[in-house]
Amino acid sequence: MSVRTDRRAEAVAVETPFRRFASDFLESRIATVALAVFAVIAFIAVFAPWIAPTDPYDLAQVNVLDSHMPPGTEAFDGRVFWLGTDGAGRDLVSAICYGLRISLGVGVMSGVIAMAIGCAVGLAAAYFGGRVDTLIMRIVDIQLSFPSILVALVLLAVLGKGVDKILIALVTVQWAYYARTVRASALVERSKEYIDAASCLALGHRRILFRHLLPNCMPPLIVVVTVQTAHAIALEATLSFLGIGLPITEPSLGLLIANGFEYMLSMKYWISVYPGVALLVTIVSINLVGDQLRDVLNPRLQK
C-alpha cells in the first residue's frame, strides 16, 4: 500500500509541462492516430530516395513499355507496380514518395520563413504600439481581405515560375496570419509583470522580445503553424496543378495529379487518384493534429 502511494508521489513529482501536454494530447485517439500517420508521411518524405522501390526520375530505371500499367501489374523484371504506373512508365509508389518529399519540403519551408517574418513583425507591432502597430496591422488586414489564391496568382503572374517564386508566394500568403496571432498574444503578455520586471532590469529590446515575450506567445502560434502548413501544401498543389506553380523538374503531388488528369477520360484513374489520396491523407492528418493542439493548448478548455 505504502509503496504504491510513494510511486504515485514520484509520478507527480516528475510531471513536467511537456509531459502534461503530451498526455493531454494523446487522450484523443483520432489525434494520436493522425500524429502517427503524419510521422510516417514525414519519414517517407525525408527518406524517399532510400524507401522508394525505384528512382522514378532516373531514366535507366524507367521503361516506357511499362506505361499506363494498372495497379498490381508485374513488370518485365519481376517487380510489382502496386499502384500502377504513369504515362511515362514511372512506378507510382516511387513517384508519390518523391512527390511527398517536394510537397512537404516546400510547404514546411514556406511555413518556417513565414513564421520568422510574421513573428518579428507581430512582436514589433505589439511591443512598440502606436503608429508602427497601426501601420503593420492595417497592411495585415488589407492582405487578409484578399483570398490566398488571388494573392498567389498576382505574385506568380508577375514573378513567373520556379521553386523560389512559389516560396515567395506561399510566404506572402501566410505571414499575415502569424503576425496577427503573435501580436494578439503578445499584447496580452506585454502587460504582465515579468515584462515590467525585465524592463526594470534595463534589458535590451531584443532580449525582452525574443527571450521573454516570444516564448510565452508560443501556444497559439503552434496551432497556426499546423493550420497554415496544411494550407500551404494544399495551395502549392493547386497552383502546380494549374501549371503556374512548380516547374516540371520538381514533380510535387499537384503535378502528378495534373499529369494523370489527361488520362482520366480513358479510365486510367490510378495516375491521379493515388497521388491525390497521399495529398489528402497528409492534409487531413495535419489538420486533425492541429484541432487537438487547439483544444489542449486553449486555457479556457482546461479542466
Partner 1 sequence: MTVFIIRRLMQSSVVVAVMSLLVFVGVNIVGDPVDMLINPEADQAEIERVMRDLGLDRPVHEQYGYFVVNALQGDLGKSFIFGEPALQLIVQRMPATFELAIAALLIAVVLGIPLGVIAGLRPGAPSSKAIMAGSILGFSLPSFWVGIMMIMLFAVMLGWLPSTGRGDTVPFLGMQVSFLTWDGLQHLLLPAINLSLFKLSLVIRLARAGTREVVHQDYIKFARAKGLSESRVVLVHLLKNIMIPVVTVLGLEFGGLVAFSVVTETVFAWPGMGKLIIDSLHELDRPVVVAYLMIVVLMFVIINLLVDIVYSVLDPRVRLQDARA
By CB under 8 A, residue 138 contacts partner 1: yes
- 3-state DSSP assignment of residue 157: helix
Are the C-beta atoms of 86 and 92 separated by less than 8 Å? yes
In which residue are the cell numbers 479556457 written? 300
**Segment near partner 1 (CB under 8 A), from 39-47, 57-65, 139-147, 175-183?**
139-147
By CB under 8 A, residue 279 contacts partner 1: yes
Nearer to partner 1, 61 or 238 (CB): 238
CA pair distance 164, 185, nearest whole angstrom: 31
Nearer to partner 1, 123 or 255 (CB): 255
Q: List the grid coordinates of 41.
A: 508521411
| Burial tier of 170 (Cβ tally within 10 Å: 0-12, 13-18, 19+) | buried
By CB under 8 A, residue 142 contacts partner 1: yes
Choice from 28, 61, 63, 287 touching partner 1 (CB under 8 A): 287
Q: List the grid coordinates of 301.
A: 478548455
Computed over its alpha carbons, how large is the radius of gyration of the chain? 24
Nearer to partner 1, 60 or 265 (CB): 265
Beta strands in the chain (DSSP E): 73-74, 80-81
The site map against partner 1 for 160-189 (x = CB under 8 A) is x-----------------------------
In which residue are the cell numbers 499584447 written? 187
Helices 17-26 and 29-46: crossing angle in degrees, nearest 10, is 100
81: β partners: 73
Q: What is the closest distance, in whole angstroms, from the C-beta atom of residue 15 to partner 1 in the complex?
A: 32
Nearer to partner 1, 216 or 287 (CB): 287
By CB under 8 A, residue 83 contacts partner 1: no
Residues, the chain: 303
Nearer to partner 1, 214 or 224 (CB): 224
Total number of residues binding partner 1 (CB under 8 A)? 41
Q: What is the closest distance, in whole angstroms, from the C-beta atom of residue 148 to partner 1 in the complex?
A: 9
149 CB neighbour count, 10 Å cutoff: 13
Q: Which residues bind partner 1 (CB under 8 A)?
A: 134, 138, 142, 145-147, 149-150, 153-154, 156-160, 230, 234, 237-238, 241-244, 254, 257, 260-261, 264-265, 267, 269, 272-273, 276, 279-280, 283-284, 287-288, 291
